[in-house]
Structure 1
Amino acid sequence: MAQFDPRRQPMRFAPHLLTAAAAVTVAMLAGRVYQPAQAEVVPELTALQIASLEARAFDAAGAPAGLTAPEAVPVQIRRGETFEQAVRRTGIGEADASAVAATLSNAFDLSQMRAGLKFETAIARPRGGRGDARLIGLTMRTGPASQLTVSRSFDGALRLRALEERVTHETVVLKSEVRGSLSATAQRMGADAAVRRRATQLFAHKLDLDRDVRAADEFTLVFDRSVTENGRTVDTGDLLYAELKGVVFYRFQPAGAREAQYYDASGKNMRSSMMRTPLDRGFRVSSSFGFRTHPISGYRKMHQGTDFAAGTGTPVIAPADGVVVEARRWGGYGNWLRIRHSNGLESGYAHLSRYGSGIRAGQRVSQGQVVAYVGSTGASTGPHLHYELWRNGQRINPAGIRMDQSSTLEGAQLTAFRAEKARIDRIIAAGGERRPTTLQANVEGLRPAASAG
C-alpha cells in the first residue's frame, strides 16, 4: 500500500477535461462509422459469362433438402405429346410441370412445339426413392445463338432468362497435310460434313482419291461459317476454294446462272461430264475391269466392271446427271441400280444395301447426288460396290472414260470471276477473315408467344 507523503501535491482530474476527451473520442469514432462508402463500378457481364455464373451457382447450391444432387436429363418431344407431358417423363409432378410450362409460356407458345424438339433439364430426385422428382433447371435452345433458361431460386420460385450469344461470321482457311484420308483430316480440322462432301466431289472430277492421294499431300479448303462466343459453329456456308495436288477450284456464280460453279484459275469450268468414281471416300479398288478368277465360281472369266471395297452403308453418288432406269433386285447382282446419262452412257451399281431417298425408275438425279449405299446383297463375298459403264449398250472399262470439260468464261463474266478470285486470294494470304454480325432465328418447332410480340 502506497504511503501518504504530505510534501507531494495531490493530482486532481478536472471533470471538464474528462468530458472533452470523451467528446473527441466519440467524434473520431463517429467519423469512422458514418464516413460515406465508395462504391466500385461493376462491369456489365456478357451472355456467356451470365450462363457460366448460373451453372456455377447450380453446382454450389447443392441438392435441396431430402433430394439427390441434380442430374442432367435430356428430353425430346414425341409425336402427339404436349410440353407438359414430355417434361413429366423426367419424373417431376404435375404441379411442377405446370409451373415450368407457365413460366416458359411468357416467352413462347408451347402449344406450337413440334415432335422432335429437344431440351435439357436438371432433375433432383427424392433420397428415399419415393415421391416426385423436382425440376431444378431447364434449358431450351430457341435459335442458333439464343436460348431460354428456367432456374429455381433459393426460395423455390422459377425464374426465366433469355440468353443471346454474340455471333461472329468468319471465312476459314483450312490448310493441312492428308493424314489417313482427305475427308477424315478435314473433319479433324473443323470442316463440317457438307464442306467435306463438296470438296471430295470436286476432287473426284480430276483425281482418283483412292490411288492418286497419298499421306502428306497438302490441301487447302476455304469456306464461310458462323460461330458463337464459346466456339460453337451454328452455320456453315459454301466451299469457296479447294486445292489438292495442284488441282484448284474457285467458286463463282455467273450473272443469270441458277447456281454457282467451280472454275480453275484461268476461268475454265472444272465440272466434267463424268466423275471418275461413284464413291467419294473410304474405298479401294479390289478388282479392275478385265479377265480374272471369279472369287465364288473359281472360273477365269471376264469381269465387266470395277469393284470398290467399302464398308456397308458407304454412300454411292451419281457420277453424272441422268435418269434412273432400274432400281430393283437382279439375280446375283442383288439390289441393282441403273442410270441413263447423256451421249449414250449408262452406269450400273450392284450388291447395294439400300437405295437413296426417292430413288426409283424415272427419277432424275444430278451429279454428286447420293443414289444408293454399299452393301453385300446377291452373290457377294463381302461389302463392296460393283460398278459398270455402258456405251450404246456395250460394257466399257470405267477407267478409260474420257472426262469432257465444260466451257470457259469470257468477257464480262471473266472479269467478274477475276475480281472474285482476287478476293478469295486475299483471304487466303491473310489466313482468314472475321467480322461480327447478329444472327436471330427461331428453331423449327418453336414460335414466339402472342403475348411476347
Structure 2
Amino acid sequence: MLFRGISIFAGIVAIMVTSSDYVLRNKGETHNTPEFDRDSLSLAPLSLGNPIVVPGIDMTSPTNHASNELANRQKKISHRVIFRSGDTLEKILLKMRVGQRDTQAAIKAFSANYNPRSIRSGDALKLSYLWHDHEDYESQLAPGIFSGFSYSVLNKEITVARDASGMFKSTTRPRAVSRRAVRAEGQISSSLYLAGKRHGVSDSALSELIRLFSWDIDFQREIRANDVFQVMFNHISDEDGKIVNIGEIIFAALTLSGKRSVIYRFTNDNDEIEYFDEVGQSAQKALMRTPIDGARLSSGYGKRKHPILGYTKMHKGVDFAAPKGTPIYAAGNGTIVYSGRKGAYGNYIRIRHNSGFFTAYAHMKGFARRVRPGRRVKQGQIIGYVGSTGRSTGPHLHYEILKKGRQINPMKVRMPPGRSLEGAELLRFHAIRREIDKNYALLKLLPLKTASR
C-alpha cells in the first residue's frame, strides 16, 4: 500500500515537471494566450498544462526573440509645445510628465550649447518619446519613455538625446536661413507704434526701431502729428520657409518737426553689428537717458511738491516707476566711485564716465554681484535692482546725470557722442550705405492694414 502511494506521488510529480517543461519551452509560441492576473494564477487549482507561478519568474513574458520583435515595433512619437509667457524649459518638461531627474539632466545637456533663459515666448519645443504598439497609448500617464527634445533658433537646431550609455547629450546642427528685405513708411498721427502697425511693421521691428532712436529722441514728448517714419527690415525665414524673425532693421529714418534722423546697419571690423548715421557717427551715445527697460517716467526734473516732505523742492533727477527687482543698467562705460547706503537716497551708486560726466542711481533694492568702488562697468551692465529704500513712496529708480559736480536734466542734456568711423572702415560703411539707399528705393511698400471693425 505504501509502495503504491509512493508510485502515484512520483507519477504526479513527473507529470507536473513535464507539463512545466512544455510550458517553458513553448511560452514564446503562445501569443494568443490571454493575459491573466498573476495573483489569480497562483491561486488556481492544480491541473495539467496550467503554468506554475514561481516568485521572480514571469511565466507569461515573451522570449528574447519576441522581445527583439517588440523592440523593432517601438514607435517614436513627438509633441510640439509652444512657450507662453512665464514658461521655462523646466516647467514645460515637468508639465509633459518628464521625471525630475531626466528634466535636470536634459537641461544640463542643453545648457552646454544654449542658455535656457534665452528661450522666448512663442518659441517651440519638440519633445520625443518611445512607446510600444502593444501598449495602450491613451492609458499612459506619460506619452511614453522620454528620449529627448529639439529646439531651433535662428540659424541652428539644438537636439538633446540619450547616448549609448543612456546619458543625455546635446548636439547642434546649422540651419539655412534666408533674408528678404521689406519696406514701410508713413505718417504719424498719434504714436509711432500705431502708425507702424498700420503700415505693416512687426512688433519686434517697432521695438527695435524705438530702442535704436531712444538715444536721441524722447518718444513720450517729441512725437507730433504729421511726423514721418521710414524703415527697411528683414523677414528671416528658416529652411522650412517659416518666418522666424521680422525685427532685423537695415535702415530707418524719423522726420520729427522737420528734422530728419537716420540710422544704417553696419558690421564693423570686429564682426559686431552697430548702427551709424549718414556720416558714420554711432547712433549709440556714451550715456543712456533711461538705464532701465519698460519703466514709466513718473517724475521729471525740476521743482515739485515733495510727496513725503510736503513742500516745494528741486527734484535734481528723474524717476522711473517699475516693479521691485527690475534690473538697472550702467548708463555708460565707467568706474564705480560709490556704492552703499546714502541717507535719503537709500541704496545708491555713482559712476564716473569720460568727459567729466557722472551718473547716479538711488532707492535701489540691492546691488548686483561684484559692484563696489573701483570696479569698471560697461554700458548696459546690470548694476542693481529697483527698490524703495531711503526716502521713497514706492519702488522706482531715481536717476541723475552730473556734469562738473552739478545735476543736469537727463532728458534734455546733449549726450556725449559715441565713436565715429574712420579710414578704411568709414569708406566701407559709405559703400554699404549707398547700396542700402539703392535697395530701399527699389522695394515696394508693405500694404496698409485696415482697422478691424
Q: TM-score normalized by structure 2?
A: 0.54
The correspondence for 1:113, drawn from 109, 112, 137, is 109
In the other structure, the counterpart of 1:264 is 277
Secondary structure of the equivalent of 2:251?
A: strand
Secondary structure of the equivalent of 1:421?
A: helix
In the other structure, the counterpart of 1:298 is 310
* Alpha carbons of structure 1 residues 277 and 410: separation in structure 2 relative to 1, 3 Å: same
Secondary structure of the equivalent of 1:346?
A: strand
Superposition CA RMSD, Å = 5.1
* Alpha carbons of structure 1 residues 220 and 385: separation in structure 2 relative to 1, 3 Å: farther
In the other structure, the counterpart of 1:252 is 266
* Alpha carbons of structure 1 residues 348 and 198: separation in structure 2 relative to 1, 3 Å: farther
Cα offset, 1:249, TM superposition: 1.1
CA contact (8 A) 1:209 1:280 kept: no
CA distance in 2, matches of 1:311, 1:215: 32
The answer to whether residue 435 in structure 2 is matched with residue 426 in structure 1 is no
In the other structure, the counterpart of 1:231 is 242
Unaligned stretches of 5+ residues in structure 2: 1-77, 117-124, 162-172, 446-453
Deviations 1:189-231 (A, max 9, x none): 4454xx7676444322321222113577543444456422352
CA distance in 2, matches of 1:362, 1:186: 44
Counterpart amino acid of 1:250? Answer: Y
* Alpha carbons of structure 1 residues 174 and 380: separation in structure 2 relative to 1, 3 Å: farther
Secondary structure of the equivalent of 2:435?
A: helix
% same residue: 32
Secondary structure of the equivalent of 1:324?
A: strand
Secondary structure of the equivalent of 1:348?
A: strand
CA contact (8 A) 1:270 1:406 kept: yes
Secondary structure of the equivalent of 2:127?
A: strand
In the other structure, the counterpart of 1:437 is none
CA contact (8 A) 2:80 2:126 kept: no
CA distance in 2, matches of 1:225, 1:371: 35
Give the number of the structure with larger relative contact order, counting CA–CA contacts within 8 Å between residues 6 or more apart: 1
CA contact (8 A) 1:207 1:276 kept: no
The answer to whether residue 346 in structure 2 is matched with residue 339 in structure 1 is no
The correspondence for 1:206, drawn from 216, 228, 236, is 216
The answer to whether residue 257 in structure 2 is matched with residue 243 in structure 1 is no
CA contact (8 A) 1:174 1:221 kept: yes
The correspondence for 2:408, drawn from 396, 420, 438, is 396
Cα offset, 1:310, TM superposition: 4.2
CA contact (8 A) 1:209 1:281 kept: no
CA distance in 2, matches of 1:365, 1:383: 24
CA contact (8 A) 1:284 1:308 kept: yes
CA distance in 2, matches of 1:268, 1:88: 51
Cα offset, 1:336, TM superposition: 1.9
CA distance in 1, matches of 2:110, 2:287: 42
Secondary structure of the equivalent of 2:355?
A: coil
* Alpha carbons of structure 1 residues 304 and 381: separation in structure 2 relative to 1, 3 Å: same
CA distance in 1, matches of 2:318, 2:293: 15
Counterpart amino acid of 1:274? Answer: L
Secondary structure of the equivalent of 1:429?
A: helix
Q: TM-score normalized by structure 1?
A: 0.54
Counterpart amino acid of 2:346? Answer: G
* Alpha carbons of structure 1 residues 236 and 136: separation in structure 2 relative to 1, 3 Å: farther
CA contact (8 A) 1:172 1:432 kept: yes
CA distance in 2, matches of 1:90, 1:260: 40
Cα offset, 1:348, TM superposition: 0.7
CA contact (8 A) 1:287 1:307 kept: yes
Counterpart amino acid of 2:279? Answer: S
CA distance in 1, matches of 2:417, 2:107: 54
* Alpha carbons of structure 1 residues 329 and 233: separation in structure 2 relative to 1, 3 Å: farther
Deviations 1:388-437 (A, max 9, x none): 2223333334345333446765665544222111222233234489xxxx
CA contact (8 A) 1:72 1:123 kept: no
In the other structure, the counterpart of 1:318 is 330
Counterpart amino acid of 2:144? Answer: L
Secondary structure of the equivalent of 1:274?
A: coil
CA distance in 2, matches of 1:203, 1:126: 58
Cα offset, 1:126, TM superposition: 6.9
Secondary structure of the equivalent of 1:402?
A: coil
Unaligned stretches of 5+ residues in structure 1: 1-69, 92-96, 98-108, 151-162, 434-453
* Alpha carbons of structure 1 residues 358 and 178: separation in structure 2 relative to 1, 3 Å: farther
* Alpha carbons of structure 1 residues 321 and 173: separation in structure 2 relative to 1, 3 Å: farther
The answer to whether residue 394 in structure 2 is matched with residue 387 in structure 1 is no
In the other structure, the counterpart of 2:301 is 288
In the other structure, the counterpart of 2:149 is 140
